[in-house]
Every structure is written in structure tokens, then in C-alpha cells.
Amino acid sequence: MNPMFPDIITNLPQADIPIESLKAFLLQGESQQILFMEFDKDIEIPEHSHNAQWGVVLDGEIELTIENEIHALKKGDTYFIPSGATHSARIKKGYKDITVFNQKDRYKAK
């Protein structure tokens, strides 16, 4: 796995997300949140929905299912999940991304 995010990211508050193996650093905007996320274990995220989400894969692999359509994503790929769309994920160890949530209060800082 590539080194963790640099200090400019790791000095941000960590997001309080109850997912084992996830480290997420939170950049809070007026109307959106940006998360810098990394996983150190394989994990499955059950189906759920929320406001719109956009992301770019920095490293690793994710299988993202959006409205029953499977997307195999790797480094350099981007994704968009429309508001209210049901989605789930199978995330591989070493996965890192930058995710923008179109919701200012999706997550709280620890």
C-alpha cells in the first residue's frame, strides 16, 4: 500500500464513521463535505442512499453497485452517485479516494 495521506490531509479532523478499517479525514464546506478516505482491510458496505456523492479513486479497487449496476473502479476512475440512488460497495484493502458529499452534515468530526 502506498504511504498514507500527507500531513496537510492528516492534520484535518477525522470523520466519525463507524466502519472498521476506515480512516477518513474531513474537510468541511458551507454546503458540502470532502472526505479523504483509506481502508486497510477488505470491507463490504451494505446498500443505502443519501444526497449526491462524487469521488475519485486514488489507489486500490472498489466494486460499486449503483441502482443495481456494477462498476469496477481502480486508480484514476471517478464515480457519481445521484441523490437518493441506492448503492453498495465491496472495497479492497489499500483503497483510497477523495469523496465529495453534497450534504454539509453527512458526517461529524470525532
What's the structural domain count of the chain? 1
Domain limits for position 34:
7-101
- pLDDT above 90 (res 40): yes
54 belongs to a structural domain? yes
85 belongs to a structural domain? yes
pTM of the model: 0.93
Please report the pLDDT score of residue 38 as a whole number.
96
Distance, in Å, from the CA atom of 101 to the CA atom of 103, rounded to the nearest integer, reads 5
DSSP letter at 32 equals -
110 belongs to a structural domain? no
Where residue 34 sits, what CATH number does that domain have?
2.60.120.10
Give Cβ neighbours of residue 77 (< 8 Å, ≥ 6 apart).
Answer: 56, 57
Amino acid at 85: A
64-94 pLDDT per residue, tens? 999 999 999 999 999 999 999 999 999 999 9
25 belongs to a structural domain? yes
28 belongs to a structural domain? yes
Lowest mean pLDDT among 2-6, 33-37, 47-51, 52-56: 2-6
Distance, in Å, from the CA atom of 87 to the CA atom of 70, rounded to the nearest integer, reads 9
Q: Give the sign of the dihedral formed by CA 16, CA 21, CA 88, CA 46.
A: negative
Q: Can you tell me which residue has the cell 469521488?
A: 55
35 belongs to a structural domain? yes
